[in-house]
Amino acid sequence: MAALSLVAAIVALVAILTFASGYDPVRALAALWRGSLGTAYAISSASLVRATPLMLTGLAVALAFTAGVINLGAEGQLLMGAATAVAVASAFARSGGALVLPLVLGAGAIAGAAWAYIPAWLRRRFGVLEVISTIMMNFVAAYFVGYLVRGPLQEPLRIYPQSAQLPESARLPLLLNGTRLHWGFGVALASATLLWWVLRSTAAGFRVRVAGANPDAARSASLIDVNRTATHAFLVSGLLAGLAGAVEVSGVTYSLYENLSPGYGYTAIAVALVGSLDPILTALSAILFGALEAGASAMQRDAGVPSVLASVVEAAIIVLLVAFSALRSRRASGRLRVFLLGLASRRGESGTS
């Protein structure tokens, strides 16, 4: 019943926004359905492909928030993971060995963790709020990628601001023949399962949950080093986000360029909140948001809905999804939901730019 109510609310919202803007709501809704869940190809080659980086970055955010760390730097960690993956792939381009792909993915993950270490160290050493430092580092990462694709990693002809194509040995194989779905989706599902098991069944996971739920009680019990636990969770969070960047370049784009991410690291905040910070639910939430991303693109492509309006519709649906999730669960802290407004605002701004 609740799911039907949510679907009805989404349909009504899309219809109202498109009709009020002078576009055919029936055509827009049909395009939204066809582009997201209407065909097997749309599901496998659009929705699930878009869900893959959202799943990994969503897990990164969920882990950090569970540990009481507000990591808003998944976007920058993803970009640094992607850049490092491309650099490693270029260095081993001629080897063609079976170890190239694991090296590429591992290097991307390590780069994301290293990028997260900076705000983690600032937080622990000087008490710098990670909310500020991680957001600032997102911009640093974006500009650094811009420098790389115009400098050290630019393609050989020096014409386009992008890297050379990754060699075949550094590309993820397809999960389903005849589709665009790659094995990165399997990596994301495995990461969600592993993270769920660690949080629920291990001592390390227990420390993370306790430190995030009530750090003062954890400190007073003298059994948990809250700062160390938060730092470790911060690093693993960056590792997952960096892995998302490596998976994106080795499974989808095959090269590095500016605006590689349409905001996966920011959407990941809503993905994690809708998933109530639970790894399995976050994975399901990522699939839902992947379908939403694919459907919004189809609205622009097939129904003539401008990208500005498509972004507004997408942002409005994100607000609706998180509001619906908040009514069903009070597990997520109220201060985290504040970032939903910033996410919706960023969506609107990206559509108008």
Query: How many angstroms from the chain centroid is the CA of residue 87?
Result: 21
What's the pLDDT at 162?
96
Both tokens of residue 245? 């960047």
Backbone angles phi, psi at 174, to 5 degrees: -75, 140
Distance CA 288, CA 252 (A): 19
List 162's β-bridge partners, or say none.
257
Q: Is residue 270 pLDDT above 70, yes or no? A: yes
Residues 6+ apart with CB under 8 A from 327: none
Q: Give the 3-state secondary structure of residue 289.
A: helix
Q: Give the 3-state secondary structure of residue 214.
A: coil
Q: Is residue 43 pLDDT above 80, yes or no? A: yes
Are the beta carbons of 71 and 116 closer than 8 angstroms? yes
CA count, 13 A, side-chain hemisphere, 349? 7
Tell the residue number behind the tokens 């990028």, with chain if given.
115
Q: Is the whole-model pTM more than 0.85?
A: yes
Are the beta carbons of 265 and 77 closer than 8 angstroms? yes
Are the beta carbons of 50 and 216 closer than 8 angstroms? no
pLDDT tens for residues 155-203? 999 999 999 999 999 999 999 999 999 999 999 999 999 999 999 999 9
Q: Give the 3-state secondary structure of residue 331.
A: coil
- The domain segmentation of the chain, as residue ranges, is 2-352
By the 10 Å C-beta count (0-12 exposed, 13-18 middle, 19+ buried), 131 is classed as middle
What's the pLDDT at 311?
73
What's the pLDDT at 19?
87
Amino acid at position 215, single letter: P
Q: How confident is the model at residue 123 (pLDDT cuts 50, 70, 90)?
A: very high
Work out the average pLDDT over 44-70. 96
Question: Which candidate, 128, 105, 106, 104, places its Cα nearest to that of 118?
Answer: 128
* Angstrom distances, CA of residue 287 to CA of 17, 43, 101, 272, 316: 24, 10, 25, 12, 18
By the 10 Å C-beta count (0-12 exposed, 13-18 middle, 19+ buried), 329 is classed as middle
Are the beta carbons of 58 and 77 closer than 8 angstroms? no
2-352 is classed in which CATH architecture?
A: Orthogonal Bundle (1.10)
**337 vs 241, more confident:** 241
Query: How many angstroms from the chain centroid is the CA of residue 65?
Result: 14
Q: What percent of the chain has pLDDT over 70?
A: 90
